[in-house]
Structure 1
């Protein structure tokens, strides 16, 4: 009888590349709709309706919604799944986490990929979207710029954490900040300065500028947060 060869004598199998699952593709489709404003904060997400629109069964849609709920982009209220509404306090907390991680990640990424080619492309795209008046496209390009600056960081845990925070930032921009954000031109200039510093090899300067950049957003959100709290208190007093 011929015996099977020992496992150690077998040639190792080649690693499989990442294969997108159907639920993964649905996650990306829903994210795109949320970040572009096609799905608004508070809008109900119905499994059957999404399945019909995408031509899939309800099962991968249900799986996709679970992923989005874990990421914080959707939430369940009274058995309804909705695009999450963020308060100014939520947004401040998001930026406060980013300011702790993102500058460090940029310094680390500069050791590995000093070219930051993806960030450069995102800047060019953002500039074109601004000329075209495409606010949603500009916001998404800005998100890609930030990811292009930190994604080469060696620490995958930090990259994944920042990816999640960037998703929530994109939701904040659509749901909370678009109509109240006067820093568009200033942010574009800051992005250019951050990229130029990193590209010429001054990672510490790029990290410091990114810290200041995010801190400016925290300060602006905090001002809106105080005004929002004041309006809430006024409404409460009037209802008594």
Structure 2
């Protein structure tokens, strides 16, 4: 058997992942300036890969490019959170329904829960949280639907990072994750989707109480899904 070494990431990809990690773990704060020359010196590269990485991050919504302010980490406010989470509320529960109906394996979601429980820091736990949600929608059978959710994934993680900095509600959300997965594994399509919906809506409502999710939370008053409110 021929040994195939792992591909070495390009300088641009290396810089991109490093900056993204710093943003999504709170090491770089919303509104903080990202100066090309400083980043190039920090990573030991020329300004070109830094510039390309920042352009890509701007495309994913993690940074903002301004003619006057230069490049800054995107600021999180109620309006931004509402936009991102409204997309998740519209698409993610439907994707989960389809994953369940296809009897897709949710082993990756179970593994993500275990990693979250054993996480030693915020960065590790945040990554496990993102992996849990992705493991629910990725096997939905519609690549375009999964891609659309992937496109708001980083922005949702940025919202979470800011919210957790002021209110580290890890334990509550871990309990809701276990409940979502329990319903999904039981094949209870409607309850799993509703619990996921309430989980997503509840998080942004707690983090940004004035965000008024414009009725998107769509909660059923008779829902008996336990602590998913």
Deviation at 1:182, TM superposition (A): 6.3
Q: Structure 1 residues 194 and 164 mapped into 2: Cα distance closer, same or farther (>3 Å)?
A: same
Partner Cα separation in structure 2 for residue 128 and residue 19 of structure 1: 29
1:139 aligns with 2:126: yes
Structure 2: gaps spanning 5 or more residues = 1-6, 213-229
Map of 2:36 onto structure 1:
47
Q: 2:137 aligns with which of 150, 169, 172?
A: 150
Retained in 2: the 8 A contact 1:150–1:159? yes
1:52-111 deviation digits (Å, cap 9, x = unpaired): 322322222211111111111001231410111111221122111101000011122234
Retained in 1: the 8 A contact 2:60–2:152? no
Partner Cα separation in structure 2 for residue 164 and residue 19 of structure 1: 24
Structure 1: gaps spanning 5 or more residues = 1-17, 227-240
Deviation at 1:157, TM superposition (A): 2.2
Larger relative helix fraction? 1
Max Rg structure = 1
Map of 1:36 onto structure 2:
25
Deviates further, 94-103 or 150-159: 150-159
Q: 1:201 aligns with which of 170, 187, 190?
A: 187
RMSD: 2.3
Partner Cα separation in structure 2 for residue 90 and residue 158 of structure 1: 21
Map of 1:106 onto structure 2:
96
Map of 1:11 onto structure 2:
none
Map of 2:159 onto structure 1:
172
4+ long deviations beyond 6 Å: none
Partner Cα separation in structure 2 for residue 185 and residue 204 of structure 1: 24
Other structure's SS at 1:62 match: helix
Deviation at 1:48, TM superposition (A): 2.3
Partner Cα separation in structure 1 for residue 31 and residue 207 of structure 2: 21
Alignment coverage as a number of residue pairs: 205
Map of 2:62 onto structure 1:
73
TM-score normalized with structure 2 length = 0.79
Deviates further, 178-187 or 36-45: 178-187
TM-score normalized with structure 1 length = 0.76
